[in-house]
Structure 1
Amino acid sequence: MSSNVASQAPSRIVLAALAGLVLTLAACAANPPAAPHAYVDPIGLFPMAAYDQDVDHWIDPSSPGYNTPFLTAAEQRAHWAAYLARYFGTAEHDPSPWNPAFIAHRMYGDGGSDIVDLQLRRIGSYDNAGKVGRGIGYGQNFRPHTARWLDEIERNMNLQQFAQAPGYKPNARAIATDALLVRELPTMDPSFYSYRLAGQGYPFDNLQISSIRPGAPLYVLGHTVDGAWDYVQTPDVQGWVKSSGVGFVDDAFIASWSHRAPDAWGVVIAASTAVRDQSATFRFNATAGTLLPLAHAGTGSSSRQQYAVLVPAREVDGRAVVREAQLSDTALSPAPIAATPRHLAVLMKSLIGRPYGWGNMNFYNDCSSELQSMFAAFGVWLPRHSSSQMTAGDMTDLSQDSPQQRLDYLVRNGKPMRTLIYIGGHVMLYLGNTTRDGRTVPLVYQDIWGLRPADNSRRAVIGGSVIFPLLLTIPEDPDLESLAATRTFQVTVLGMPSGVAPPASEENPAS
């Protein structure tokens, strides 16, 4: 909706509110207070006591396949090449923010008008004028956002800028010098639907898109009027980020950062690790999946206790410079790590039990970013959103099958540790099979907010990453809907990246 229409809304809202207030005060003066309306809290906690979260119980270090890769050497090499191309590639179709061809054709194919249209759609979705019920967006004070709030954000966005310079500019290339939250609009104010609705309210800030790991390449498409925010394209998403965590780069920086051999990279394998440079200056917290260049070629030995890596830092003039830091081998490993159960267990032990973070809120993971973070360590790029992750492998749609048929299919055909399961707005990783009450059932790893009944009236909150069996009935609360009984049920098996043909023969990498 245009700002002209939005700017007319406050007068209507204020008049209606004043009229309602007068009627309320009159009623209170004439009648005794009404009895409080019964309110049923839509949020409860799911009891997890019966579900063992010991990773070694489920991925047994003594099992014969503990060091056997679940991706072949050829598959992993192909994924790693595609990953580096997405971040730093310069071939015509490489979707890197540092690729002039990608920016010119993908970002400015319509002369910038598509960027303006996207901004207008986002603004319109947060306009409360004329909305009722669950469509109204609320702030942190439980009050609906006003038209004034939205108008001020829109003015700061300066939408005209996106169509005024519709073309690639070398000096718009940048790098994330900090961990960054990606927002739909340039504000840290949240936008919640009513907390009285199951699955809404905190922590579901609708303005929160994702996060950016330090060291990720960026292309800056625009700036806010006050200079506090940049609108950027990342290897994954597009949105607004704090400009204080963006450093602009030139050809010399890019050459020192990305022009290196495929084995000259390190990847963070800890959930989060503090990074200080050689002068002991804190630079950022790096989360799992953060990709950083190894400072010295050939130093990626697994026997080392420390790795020297390059880290980006922002100067006072906004330029990025390269610094050096030391990270322990418990926090970082040469990339990519072999895709073995042993290494998956290392990542799971680091991440399991952490709080759920919708859209990476507070730099925690949601379901899709949890899997994205883990598979990044293996050099496998997964799309940011759960539905899109089904395109990463060979997908089978079981949505027309019964819940029992779906579980039977997974038990028979699921490929442990490489099969993703999408159930509509949520994605899980199949680990293998287990026995529950005498029945063989699939076992999954997932970062999940909670379970719900079929009428969607409440949530039994888990609120984090867990290991959980897929059951037809939840014994602790039979009214809760089975995760195998959702309307959508798709599985995809990771293999060769899309568009890459498998080789005639291939060998497995060492563990």
Structure 2
Amino acid sequence: MPARTFAVRAALASLALALAACAANPPAAQHAYVDPIGVFPMANYDQNVDHWIDPANANYDTPFLTATEQRAHWNAYLARYFGTGEHDASPWNPAFIANRLYSHGGSDVVDLQLQRIGNYDNAGKAARQIGYGQNYRPHTARWIEDIERNMNVQQFVQAPHYAPNLRAIATDALLVRELPTMDPSFYSHKLAGEGYPFDNLQISSVWPGTPLYVIGRSVDGAWDYVQTPTVQGWVPANGVGLVDDAFVSAWSHRPSDGWGVVITASAPVNDSGGTYRFNATAGTLLPFAQSGTIGPAARYTVLIPARDVDGHAVLRQAQLPDTAIAPAPIAATPRHLAMLIKSLIGRPYGWGNMNFYNDCSSELQGIFSAFGVWLPRHSSAQLTAGDMTDLSTSTPEQRVDYLMKNGKPMRTLVYIGGHVMLYLGNTTRDGRTVPLVYQDIWGLSPADDSRRAVIGGSVIFPLLLRIPEDSGLKSLAATGIFQMSVLGMPSGVAVPPTEENPAS
């Protein structure tokens, strides 16, 4: 037999044996990957604000906070930014900084830094707690080690006392990070409610013009660790300008009616020389230089902070139209609430202000800032701003019924554990009366938390006991925690006995 023929026959025999082996041992069945992310159908939910806050309503211009309540909130707000009283939590207040940061010689700050480093070190972590980068791969040991070296944690105990030359101001909109890096850290995108946009390193953002105190700086000089009026974290150093007594006086020593507040989702700000400085989002507070009308539209002249080449803040002027800024605080009326919601509704959800979009608590913080009401940054803490009622042990039906009977429209916050909403009033849907809420929400989930039906932005939505589009989704009224808080006078301030009740 020719050698070539033998080789061919041998090859065919080997192929037959291989096919027989495959037939006897079929490959293991491959299970299709089920994406935990779907999109919730919003077509059945009218987002026309005028249909829910009716301009024809007789109370459209009737305040839902009294003048006394609003004035008390505004005074508390300004104290939060610029107060010098013992308990005023302003970054420019020596008493607050000394007590908040240095009562234990700076060791508290060190402990927080070490805790955060440990949170993002993947060594020894369970699978669900592994942190991933934008490339879907776990962060390496070198990644966290490099960040830790750049933090120089021991700097926070080297000069543990208040220093006036470390007062500063945000000269740009700033993202606040847990560590000095813009690298994201996600849990696995295969887990419902994880992956983008839930960057665990993202804490919050800071509005331009916000007072800061610089606690420390990264080794490379690119990041400052700061105390804001709300949170503590790392921000890009090129958006921080150091201030002195003269700047503080020019910026903050003014009558309470000398301020403007941004009333649109985002306003580009150029100084009087035409240089773009920053985008100011709803709630940003800027001092008036003067007011008046220039050209065909009303415009306000405001002071803005800029950073000079030496890292110090200098004053510049800018003009903004009255569609972007108004004298602060604006009256807390349905008309003005509708105006703010119209500007914000439908914008993408931004966990921790990722990409300078809002999440649930920052959405309400920006809205109520326009009314001169200070709300804490985190959703659970916002309940402390009002008179809280805990309905967590009640049934979903009891919760909804109580809210509709006792909630005060437009000034009642509803907290359901990790998420907060604003109660607008009651409406009728499918023949039933239901409460209506405004919220910035990522999505709805089933009881087993196995998936998300993504809404992904700010919406007006009824608080339904059942979701008709998907019976497997859990009602927002059926969460483990359900609390409501009615805003009135600030905590610790008594209501005068002659004060009228606000319209509801």
- TM-score class normalised by the smaller sequence: over 0.9
Trace 1:212-251 onto structure 2 (pairs within 5 A).
Answer: 212-251=206-245
- Provide the residue aligned with 2:407 in structure 1: 414
- Post-superposition shift, 1:299? 5.2
Q: In the alignment, is the contact (CA less than 8 A) between 1:73 and 1:506 conserved in 2? A: no
Among 492, 497, 500, the residue aligned to 1:499: 492
- Provide the residue aligned with 1:204 in structure 2: 198
Query: 1:97-155: CA deviations, max 9, x gaps?
Result: 00011111111111100000000000001111011221100001101001110000000
- Provide the residue aligned with 1:17 in structure 2: none
Q: Percent identity?
A: 78
Trace 1:273-352 onto structure 2 (pairs within 5 A).
Answer: 273-296=267-290, 305-352=298-345
- Provide the residue aligned with 2:91 in structure 1: 97
Q: 1:262 to 1:508 in 2, by over 3 A?
A: farther
* Bigger radius of gyration among the two: 2
**Corresponding position: 1:129 with 2:123:** yes
CA distance in 1, matches of 2:202, 2:345: 22
CA distance in 1, matches of 2:302, 2:405: 44
- Provide the residue aligned with 1:195 in structure 2: 189
Q: In the alignment, is the contact (CA less than 8 A) between 1:74 and 1:507 conserved in 2? A: no
CA distance in 2, matches of 1:109, 1:447: 37
Among 237, 246, 256, the residue aligned to 1:252: 246
Task: Give the letter aligned to residue 355 of structure 1.
Answer: P
Among 441, 456, 461, the residue aligned to 2:454: 461
Query: 1:366-395: CA deviations, max 9, x gaps?
Result: 000000000000000000000000100000
Query: 1:304-344: CA deviations, max 9, x gaps?
Result: 71000000000010000000000000000000000000000
- Provide the residue aligned with 2:15 in structure 1: none
Among 32, 50, 56, the residue aligned to 1:56: 50
- Post-superposition shift, 1:509? 10
- Post-superposition shift, 1:35? 5.4
Q: 1:197 to 1:304 in 2, by over 3 A?
A: same
Q: In the alignment, is the contact (CA less than 8 A) between 1:177 and 1:245 conserved in 2? A: yes
Secondary structure of the 1:218 match is strand
CA distance in 1, matches of 2:328, 2:266: 17
Among 345, 356, 359, the residue aligned to 1:363: 356
Secondary structure of the 2:219 match is coil
CA distance in 1, matches of 2:128, 2:254: 51
Q: 1:506 to 1:300 in 2, by over 3 A?
A: farther
Among 435, 447, 451, the residue aligned to 2:440: 447
Q: In the alignment, is the contact (CA less than 8 A) between 2:349 and 2:359 conserved in 1? A: yes
Q: In the alignment, is the contact (CA less than 8 A) between 1:368 and 1:386 conserved in 2? A: yes
- Provide the residue aligned with 1:4 in structure 2: none
Among 383, 390, 395, the residue aligned to 1:390: 383
Q: In the alignment, is the contact (CA less than 8 A) between 2:443 and 2:453 conserved in 1? A: yes
Q: In the alignment, is the contact (CA less than 8 A) between 1:353 and 1:464 conserved in 2? A: yes
- Post-superposition shift, 1:300? 10
- Provide the residue aligned with 1:372 in structure 2: 365
Secondary structure of the 1:230 match is strand
CA distance in 1, matches of 2:374, 2:293: 22
- Provide the residue aligned with 2:22 in structure 1: none
Q: In the alignment, is the contact (CA less than 8 A) between 2:293 and 2:299 conserved in 1? A: no
Query: 1:409-431: CA deviations, max 9, x gaps?
Result: 01111100000000000000000
- Post-superposition shift, 1:92? 1.4
- Provide the residue aligned with 1:109 in structure 2: 103
- Post-superposition shift, 1:37? 3.3
CA distance in 1, matches of 2:195, 2:323: 37
Secondary structure of the 1:295 match is strand
- Post-superposition shift, 1:34? 5.8
Secondary structure of the 1:305 match is strand
- Provide the residue aligned with 1:11 in structure 2: none
**Corresponding position: 1:268 with 2:262:** yes
Trace 1:427-446 onto structure 2 (pairs within 5 A).
Answer: 427-446=420-439
CA distance in 1, matches of 2:104, 2:151: 20
Question: Which has the higher mean CA deviation after the structures are superposed, 501-510 or 196-205?
Answer: 501-510
- Provide the residue aligned with 1:400 in structure 2: 393
CA distance in 2, matches of 1:37, 1:433: 46
Number of aligned residue pairs: give it. 478
Query: 1:337-358: CA deviations, max 9, x gaps?
Result: 0000000000000000000000
Task: Give the letter aligned to residue 109 of structure 1.
Answer: S
Q: In the alignment, is the contact (CA less than 8 A) between 1:181 and 1:241 conserved in 2? A: yes
CA distance in 2, matches of 1:393, 1:172: 34
Q: Over aligned residue pairs, what C-alpha RMSD do you find?
A: 1.6
Secondary structure of the 1:405 match is helix
**Corresponding position: 1:65 with 2:59:** yes
Q: In the alignment, is the contact (CA less than 8 A) between 1:300 and 1:334 conserved in 2? A: no
CA distance in 2, matches of 1:132, 1:119: 22
Secondary structure of the 2:147 match is helix
Query: 1:45-95: CA deviations, max 9, x gaps?
Result: 000011000000000000000000000000000000000000001111111
CA distance in 1, matches of 2:323, 2:122: 48
- Provide the residue aligned with 1:181 in structure 2: 175
CA distance in 2, matches of 1:69, 1:326: 29
- Post-superposition shift, 1:38? 1.3
CA distance in 1, matches of 2:502, 2:280: 27
Task: Give the letter aligned to residue 496 of structure 1.
Answer: M
Question: Which has the higher mean CA deviation after the structures are superposed, 125-134 or 306-315?
Answer: 125-134
CA distance in 2, matches of 1:270, 1:405: 37
Where structure 1 has 5 or more consecutive residues not aligned to the other structure, the ranges are: 1-30
Among 109, 114, 119, the residue aligned to 2:113: 119
Query: 1:247-304: CA deviations, max 9, x gaps?
Result: 00000000000000000000000100100000000000000000000012x6599x97
Secondary structure of the 2:466 match is coil
Q: In the alignment, is the contact (CA less than 8 A) between 2:425 and 2:437 conserved in 1? A: yes
CA distance in 1, matches of 2:293, 2:210: 21
Task: Give the letter aligned to residue 441 of structure 2.
Answer: I
CA distance in 2, matches of 1:34, 1:190: 36
CA distance in 1, matches of 2:317, 2:26: 71
